[in-house]
Amino acid sequence: MNHNTPLSPRPLHHLTEAQRRVLTAAQLRAHGVPAAEVNEQCRPGGPWQQMLPGVFLLHPGPPTSEDRLHAVLMYAARGPVQEPPPGVPAQPTARKPHRPVDPEAMITGLAALTLYGFSTAPPLLSLEKIDVLVPRLRRVRSTGFARIVRTAALPVPEPVTGLPVAPVPRALADAVATLADADAVRRLLTEAVRAGHCEPAAVVRELTQARLLSRPHVVDAVDSLLAEGRAIAEDRLYRMVREYRLPDPLWNVDLRLPGGPHLGGLDAYWPEEAVALELDTRAPRQGDRPDEDALWSEYARKREHLERLGITVVHITPRKLRDAMEQQATVVRTALMAAADREPAAHVVVVPR
Protein backbone atom coordinates (compact mmCIF):
# COMPACT_ATOMS: atom_id res chain seq x y z
CA MET A 1 0.00 0.00 0.00
CA ASN A 2 1.47 3.34 -0.95
CA HIS A 3 0.67 6.79 0.34
CA ASN A 4 -1.66 7.50 -2.57
CA THR A 5 -4.00 4.71 -1.51
CA PRO A 6 -6.53 6.51 0.65
CA LEU A 7 -8.20 3.53 2.32
CA SER A 8 -7.47 -0.06 3.21
CA PRO A 9 -9.63 -1.87 0.64
CA ARG A 10 -10.48 -4.95 2.70
CA PRO A 11 -12.15 -3.53 5.81
CA LEU A 12 -13.43 -0.21 4.46
CA HIS A 13 -14.38 -0.74 0.83
CA HIS A 14 -18.08 -1.27 1.65
CA LEU A 15 -18.43 2.22 3.17
CA THR A 16 -19.65 5.20 1.22
CA GLU A 17 -17.33 8.15 0.62
CA ALA A 18 -19.25 10.26 3.12
CA GLN A 19 -18.94 7.56 5.78
CA ARG A 20 -15.22 7.10 5.40
CA ARG A 21 -14.05 10.69 5.61
CA VAL A 22 -13.84 10.87 9.41
CA LEU A 23 -13.57 7.84 11.70
CA THR A 24 -12.45 7.18 15.25
CA ALA A 25 -9.69 4.77 16.20
CA ALA A 26 -12.31 2.45 17.68
CA GLN A 27 -14.32 2.46 14.46
CA LEU A 28 -11.21 1.71 12.44
CA ARG A 29 -10.40 -1.21 14.73
CA ALA A 30 -13.96 -2.48 14.29
CA HIS A 31 -13.26 -2.56 10.54
CA GLY A 32 -10.06 -4.52 11.04
CA VAL A 33 -7.62 -1.63 10.64
CA PRO A 34 -4.87 -2.10 13.25
CA ALA A 35 -3.17 0.79 15.01
CA ALA A 36 0.05 0.14 13.07
CA GLU A 37 -1.72 0.66 9.76
CA VAL A 38 -3.35 3.86 11.06
CA ASN A 39 0.06 5.17 12.06
CA GLU A 40 1.44 4.23 8.64
CA GLN A 41 -1.35 6.07 6.82
CA CYS A 42 -0.87 9.15 9.05
CA ARG A 43 2.87 9.51 8.36
CA PRO A 44 3.96 12.90 6.92
CA GLY A 45 2.84 12.93 3.30
CA GLY A 46 0.40 10.10 3.89
CA PRO A 47 -3.25 10.13 2.86
CA TRP A 48 -4.68 10.22 6.38
CA GLN A 49 -4.26 12.69 9.23
CA GLN A 50 -5.17 12.82 12.89
CA MET A 51 -7.61 15.66 13.48
CA LEU A 52 -8.12 15.20 17.22
CA PRO A 53 -7.02 12.50 19.68
CA GLY A 54 -8.50 9.25 18.41
CA VAL A 55 -10.23 10.91 15.43
CA PHE A 56 -8.82 10.62 11.92
CA LEU A 57 -9.44 12.27 8.56
CA LEU A 58 -9.26 9.57 5.90
CA HIS A 59 -8.36 11.71 2.91
CA PRO A 60 -5.51 14.08 2.08
CA GLY A 61 -5.86 17.83 2.07
CA PRO A 62 -7.41 20.18 4.60
CA PRO A 63 -10.60 19.12 6.39
CA THR A 64 -13.87 20.68 5.34
CA SER A 65 -16.12 22.45 7.81
CA GLU A 66 -18.32 19.34 7.84
CA ASP A 67 -15.28 17.19 8.65
CA ARG A 68 -14.41 19.44 11.60
CA LEU A 69 -17.96 19.36 12.97
CA HIS A 70 -18.11 15.58 12.76
CA ALA A 71 -14.68 15.30 14.34
CA VAL A 72 -15.51 17.35 17.45
CA LEU A 73 -18.70 15.36 17.98
CA MET A 74 -16.85 12.07 17.62
CA TYR A 75 -14.12 13.28 19.98
CA ALA A 76 -16.65 14.36 22.62
CA ALA A 77 -18.80 11.25 22.28
CA ARG A 78 -18.85 8.73 25.09
CA GLY A 79 -17.92 5.91 22.76
CA PRO A 80 -17.79 4.92 19.08
CA VAL A 81 -20.87 4.15 17.06
CA GLN A 82 -20.91 0.41 16.58
CA GLU A 83 -22.03 -1.09 13.29
CA PRO A 84 -22.61 -4.64 12.08
CA PRO A 85 -19.92 -6.56 10.17
CA PRO A 86 -20.09 -6.47 6.36
CA GLY A 87 -23.01 -8.50 5.05
CA VAL A 88 -24.92 -8.46 8.35
CA PRO A 89 -28.04 -6.25 8.09
CA ALA A 90 -28.53 -3.69 10.80
CA GLN A 91 -31.52 -4.05 13.10
CA PRO A 92 -34.39 -1.60 12.44
CA THR A 93 -33.74 0.17 15.73
CA ALA A 94 -29.96 0.23 15.41
CA ARG A 95 -28.10 3.51 15.13
CA LYS A 96 -26.97 4.43 11.65
CA PRO A 97 -23.32 3.61 10.88
CA HIS A 98 -20.89 6.41 11.48
CA ARG A 99 -23.56 8.89 12.43
CA PRO A 100 -21.52 11.19 14.70
CA VAL A 101 -24.48 11.96 16.92
CA ASP A 102 -24.26 11.47 20.66
CA PRO A 103 -27.40 12.56 22.52
CA GLU A 104 -25.04 13.89 25.16
CA ALA A 105 -22.80 15.95 22.87
CA MET A 106 -23.92 18.79 20.62
CA ILE A 107 -22.48 21.73 18.68
CA THR A 108 -22.88 25.05 20.47
CA GLY A 109 -21.45 28.59 20.46
CA LEU A 110 -20.58 30.42 17.26
CA ALA A 111 -20.47 27.25 15.16
CA ALA A 112 -24.05 26.47 16.16
CA LEU A 113 -25.21 29.98 15.28
CA THR A 114 -23.57 29.67 11.86
CA LEU A 115 -25.41 26.39 11.32
CA TYR A 116 -28.66 28.15 12.23
CA GLY A 117 -27.96 30.66 9.48
CA PHE A 118 -26.93 33.73 11.52
CA SER A 119 -25.50 36.28 9.11
CA THR A 120 -23.55 37.90 11.98
CA ALA A 121 -21.79 34.64 12.90
CA PRO A 122 -18.45 33.88 11.21
CA PRO A 123 -17.99 31.16 8.55
CA LEU A 124 -17.27 27.74 10.00
CA LEU A 125 -13.84 27.42 8.40
CA SER A 126 -12.76 30.73 9.98
CA LEU A 127 -13.40 29.47 13.51
CA GLU A 128 -10.28 28.50 15.39
CA LYS A 129 -12.40 26.62 17.93
CA ILE A 130 -15.64 24.66 17.61
CA ASP A 131 -17.58 24.50 20.86
CA VAL A 132 -19.20 21.20 21.81
CA LEU A 133 -21.56 20.94 24.78
CA VAL A 134 -21.24 17.89 27.03
CA PRO A 135 -22.38 16.80 30.51
CA ARG A 136 -20.34 18.22 33.34
CA LEU A 137 -18.91 14.83 34.32
CA ARG A 138 -17.88 13.80 30.80
CA ARG A 139 -14.18 12.88 30.92
CA VAL A 140 -12.89 14.76 27.92
CA ARG A 141 -10.74 17.87 27.61
CA SER A 142 -10.48 20.76 25.18
CA THR A 143 -7.77 20.20 22.62
CA GLY A 144 -6.92 21.38 19.14
CA PHE A 145 -9.95 23.00 17.53
CA ALA A 146 -12.39 21.25 19.92
CA ARG A 147 -13.44 23.40 22.88
CA ILE A 148 -15.40 21.49 25.50
CA VAL A 149 -18.26 23.35 27.19
CA ARG A 150 -19.75 21.64 30.22
CA THR A 151 -23.24 21.87 31.67
CA ALA A 152 -25.10 20.27 34.55
CA ALA A 153 -28.29 19.90 32.49
CA LEU A 154 -28.08 19.29 28.76
CA PRO A 155 -30.81 20.84 26.62
CA VAL A 156 -32.60 18.85 23.95
CA PRO A 157 -30.58 19.36 20.75
CA GLU A 158 -32.01 20.61 17.47
CA PRO A 159 -31.11 18.59 14.36
CA VAL A 160 -29.41 20.90 11.86
CA THR A 161 -27.94 19.40 8.67
CA GLY A 162 -28.09 16.04 10.43
CA LEU A 163 -26.04 17.20 13.41
CA PRO A 164 -27.16 17.74 17.02
CA VAL A 165 -27.04 21.48 17.76
CA ALA A 166 -27.77 23.29 21.01
CA PRO A 167 -30.94 25.42 21.01
CA VAL A 168 -30.37 29.02 19.94
CA PRO A 169 -30.57 30.59 23.44
CA ARG A 170 -27.98 28.18 24.82
CA ALA A 171 -25.75 28.54 21.76
CA LEU A 172 -25.94 32.34 22.11
CA ALA A 173 -24.90 32.20 25.76
CA ASP A 174 -21.94 29.95 24.93
CA ALA A 175 -20.94 32.26 22.08
CA VAL A 176 -21.21 35.40 24.22
CA ALA A 177 -19.02 33.78 26.86
CA THR A 178 -16.14 33.78 24.35
CA LEU A 179 -16.62 37.32 23.03
CA ALA A 180 -15.24 40.57 24.41
CA ASP A 181 -16.40 42.70 21.47
CA ALA A 182 -19.51 44.60 22.56
CA ASP A 183 -20.63 45.23 18.97
CA ALA A 184 -20.34 41.55 18.07
CA VAL A 185 -22.41 40.56 21.10
CA ARG A 186 -25.06 43.15 20.31
CA ARG A 187 -25.29 42.06 16.66
CA LEU A 188 -25.76 38.40 17.58
CA LEU A 189 -28.43 39.07 20.19
CA THR A 190 -30.29 41.49 17.95
CA GLU A 191 -30.31 39.06 15.02
CA ALA A 192 -31.57 36.26 17.26
CA VAL A 193 -34.72 38.26 18.03
CA ARG A 194 -35.15 40.19 14.80
CA ALA A 195 -34.86 37.06 12.64
CA GLY A 196 -37.30 35.16 14.85
CA HIS A 197 -34.84 32.55 16.15
CA CYS A 198 -35.99 32.99 19.77
CA GLU A 199 -37.56 35.38 22.26
CA PRO A 200 -35.55 37.79 24.45
CA ALA A 201 -36.67 36.16 27.70
CA ALA A 202 -35.12 32.82 26.71
CA VAL A 203 -31.81 34.50 25.83
CA VAL A 204 -31.66 36.50 29.05
CA ARG A 205 -32.47 33.39 31.05
CA GLU A 206 -29.49 31.55 29.55
CA LEU A 207 -27.18 34.55 30.02
CA THR A 208 -28.27 34.78 33.65
CA GLN A 209 -27.65 31.08 34.28
CA ALA A 210 -24.22 31.44 32.67
CA ARG A 211 -23.48 34.42 34.98
CA LEU A 212 -22.66 36.64 32.06
CA LEU A 213 -24.72 39.65 33.15
CA SER A 214 -21.88 40.85 35.34
CA ARG A 215 -20.07 41.92 32.16
CA PRO A 216 -20.91 45.53 31.25
CA HIS A 217 -20.84 44.99 27.49
CA VAL A 218 -23.27 42.07 27.86
CA VAL A 219 -25.63 44.13 30.02
CA ASP A 220 -25.65 46.89 27.39
CA ALA A 221 -26.39 44.35 24.66
CA VAL A 222 -29.23 42.86 26.72
CA ASP A 223 -30.82 46.29 27.16
CA SER A 224 -30.79 46.69 23.38
CA LEU A 225 -32.13 43.14 23.00
CA LEU A 226 -35.10 43.77 25.30
CA ALA A 227 -35.92 47.03 23.52
CA GLU A 228 -35.73 45.25 20.17
CA GLY A 229 -37.93 42.42 21.41
CA ARG A 230 -40.48 44.83 22.81
CA ALA A 231 -40.69 46.74 19.52
CA ILE A 232 -41.13 43.53 17.52
CA ALA A 233 -43.85 42.26 19.86
CA GLU A 234 -45.73 45.56 19.66
CA ASP A 235 -45.54 45.50 15.87
CA ARG A 236 -47.01 41.99 15.84
CA LEU A 237 -49.78 43.14 18.16
CA TYR A 238 -50.70 46.00 15.82
CA ARG A 239 -50.66 43.57 12.91
CA MET A 240 -52.90 41.10 14.76
CA VAL A 241 -55.55 43.77 15.37
CA ARG A 242 -55.38 44.92 11.76
CA GLU A 243 -55.23 41.56 9.98
CA TYR A 244 -57.92 39.87 12.07
CA ARG A 245 -60.15 42.94 11.99
CA LEU A 246 -60.48 43.46 15.71
CA PRO A 247 -61.95 46.76 16.92
CA ASP A 248 -59.32 49.45 17.33
CA PRO A 249 -58.28 49.79 20.99
CA LEU A 250 -56.66 52.64 22.85
CA TRP A 251 -52.95 51.92 22.59
CA ASN A 252 -50.38 52.24 25.42
CA VAL A 253 -52.49 53.70 28.21
CA ASP A 254 -52.50 53.92 32.00
CA LEU A 255 -55.62 53.25 34.05
CA ARG A 256 -56.51 55.12 37.26
CA LEU A 257 -59.47 55.20 39.57
CA PRO A 258 -61.15 58.64 39.60
CA GLY A 259 -59.25 60.60 42.22
CA GLY A 260 -57.63 57.34 43.27
CA PRO A 261 -54.52 55.23 42.77
CA HIS A 262 -52.76 54.23 39.59
CA LEU A 263 -53.93 50.80 38.39
CA GLY A 264 -51.14 50.08 35.93
CA GLY A 265 -50.12 50.43 32.32
CA LEU A 266 -51.61 48.45 29.44
CA ASP A 267 -50.59 47.84 25.85
CA ALA A 268 -54.17 48.00 24.59
CA TYR A 269 -57.55 48.78 26.13
CA TRP A 270 -61.09 48.55 24.77
CA PRO A 271 -63.01 50.91 27.09
CA GLU A 272 -66.55 50.07 25.91
CA GLU A 273 -66.00 46.36 26.54
CA ALA A 274 -63.66 46.88 29.53
CA VAL A 275 -61.07 44.51 28.02
CA ALA A 276 -57.38 45.11 28.69
CA LEU A 277 -54.44 43.50 26.91
CA GLU A 278 -50.94 43.21 28.28
CA LEU A 279 -47.79 41.96 26.59
CA ASP A 280 -45.46 40.00 28.85
CA THR A 281 -41.99 41.08 27.80
CA ARG A 282 -40.37 40.62 31.18
CA ALA A 283 -37.13 38.68 31.26
CA PRO A 284 -35.29 37.39 34.33
CA ARG A 285 -32.21 39.41 35.17
CA GLN A 286 -29.37 38.73 37.56
CA GLY A 287 -30.58 39.55 41.04
CA ASP A 288 -34.25 38.99 40.16
CA ARG A 289 -36.19 36.31 41.94
CA PRO A 290 -35.46 33.18 39.95
CA ASP A 291 -38.68 31.22 40.33
CA GLU A 292 -41.42 31.65 37.77
CA ASP A 293 -44.13 32.24 40.39
CA ALA A 294 -42.27 35.28 41.70
CA LEU A 295 -41.65 36.61 38.20
CA TRP A 296 -45.36 36.47 37.49
CA SER A 297 -46.46 37.96 40.82
CA GLU A 298 -46.43 41.55 39.55
CA TYR A 299 -48.67 40.66 36.64
CA ALA A 300 -50.94 38.56 38.84
CA ARG A 301 -51.51 41.38 41.35
CA LYS A 302 -52.39 43.86 38.60
CA ARG A 303 -54.67 41.37 36.89
CA GLU A 304 -56.53 40.52 40.10
CA HIS A 305 -57.04 44.20 40.91
CA LEU A 306 -58.41 45.01 37.45
CA GLU A 307 -60.67 41.98 37.37
CA ARG A 308 -62.14 42.92 40.76
CA LEU A 309 -63.17 46.15 39.04
CA GLY A 310 -64.87 44.17 36.27
CA ILE A 311 -62.10 44.59 33.66
CA THR A 312 -61.14 41.49 31.67
CA VAL A 313 -57.39 41.15 31.25
CA VAL A 314 -55.91 39.24 28.30
CA HIS A 315 -52.29 38.28 28.83
CA ILE A 316 -50.20 37.54 25.70
CA THR A 317 -46.53 36.61 25.38
CA PRO A 318 -44.39 37.62 22.38
CA ARG A 319 -43.90 33.94 21.58
CA LYS A 320 -47.66 33.33 21.35
CA LEU A 321 -47.98 36.33 19.05
CA ARG A 322 -45.22 34.95 16.85
CA ASP A 323 -46.30 31.31 16.75
CA ALA A 324 -50.10 31.47 17.15
CA MET A 325 -51.34 34.93 16.15
CA GLU A 326 -54.71 33.71 14.89
CA GLN A 327 -55.36 31.88 18.14
CA GLN A 328 -54.52 34.99 20.16
CA ALA A 329 -56.84 37.08 17.99
CA THR A 330 -59.61 34.59 18.77
CA VAL A 331 -58.92 34.93 22.50
CA VAL A 332 -59.23 38.73 22.28
CA ARG A 333 -62.36 38.57 20.12
CA THR A 334 -64.00 36.14 22.55
CA ALA A 335 -63.28 38.47 25.47
CA LEU A 336 -64.77 41.42 23.59
CA MET A 337 -67.92 39.47 22.67
CA ALA A 338 -68.40 38.26 26.23
CA ALA A 339 -68.55 41.85 27.51
CA ALA A 340 -72.28 42.04 26.79
CA ASP A 341 -72.95 39.23 29.29
CA ARG A 342 -70.94 40.77 32.15
CA GLU A 343 -71.86 43.30 34.78
CA PRO A 344 -70.68 46.82 33.88
CA ALA A 345 -67.13 47.51 34.99
CA ALA A 346 -66.18 50.23 37.46
CA HIS A 347 -65.46 53.60 35.94
CA VAL A 348 -61.77 54.19 35.36
CA VAL A 349 -59.78 57.07 33.96
CA VAL A 350 -57.72 56.30 30.85
CA VAL A 351 -54.51 58.31 30.49
CA PRO A 352 -52.10 58.06 27.51
CA ARG A 353 -48.64 56.80 28.44
CA distance 39 to 272: 82
Quote the pLDDT of residue 208.
Answer: 92
Sheet architecture: strand order including 349-352: 312-316, 275-279, 262-270, 250-256, 349-352
**275 bridge partner residues:** 270, 312
User: How does residue 16 score in pLDDT terms, banded at 50, 70 and 90?
Assistant: low
Is residue 86's pLDDT more than 50? Answer: no
User: Across the chain, how many H-helices and E-strands are there?
Assistant: 12, 13
The pLDDT of residue 83: 39
> Up-side HSE of residue 44: CA atoms within 13 Å toward CB?
0
Region 20-38: mean pLDDT is: 87
Q: What is the pLDDT of residues 139-166, one digit of tens each?
A: 899 999 999 999 998 999 999 998 999 9
Looking at the DSSP bridge assignments, the partners of residue 72 are: none
Write out pLDDT tens, residues 286-345: 444 444 455 557 777 888 889 999 999 999 988 899 889 999 999 999 999 999 888 888
- Predicted TM-score of the model (pTM): 0.74
Which tens digits make up the pLDDT trace of 235-284?
999 999 999 999 999 999 999 999 878 888 999 999 999 999 999 876 55
Q: Could you give the percent of the chain with pLDDT greater than 90?
A: 56
So what's the pLDDT on residue 91? 33
- Region 38-55: mean pLDDT is 89
122 CB contacts (<8 Å, ≥6 apart)? 110, 114
Provide the pLDDT for residue 245.
Answer: 96
DSSP 8-state code for residue 338:
G
Instruction: Report the alpha-carbon distance of residue 77 to residue 108 in Å, rounded.
Output: 15
Q: What average pLDDT does the segment 37-61 reach?
A: 89
Between 1 and 172, where is the model more confident? Answer: 172
Domains of the chain are: 9-178 (no CATH), 244-352 (3.40.960)
**Per-residue pLDDT, 89:** 37
Which of 85-94, 164-173, 198-207: highest mean pLDDT? 164-173
The 8-class DSSP code of residue 253 comes to E
Is residue 350 over pLDDT 80? yes
Query: 34: Cβ–Cβ under 8 A, 6 or more apart, which residues?
Result: none
How high is the pLDDT of residue 79?
43
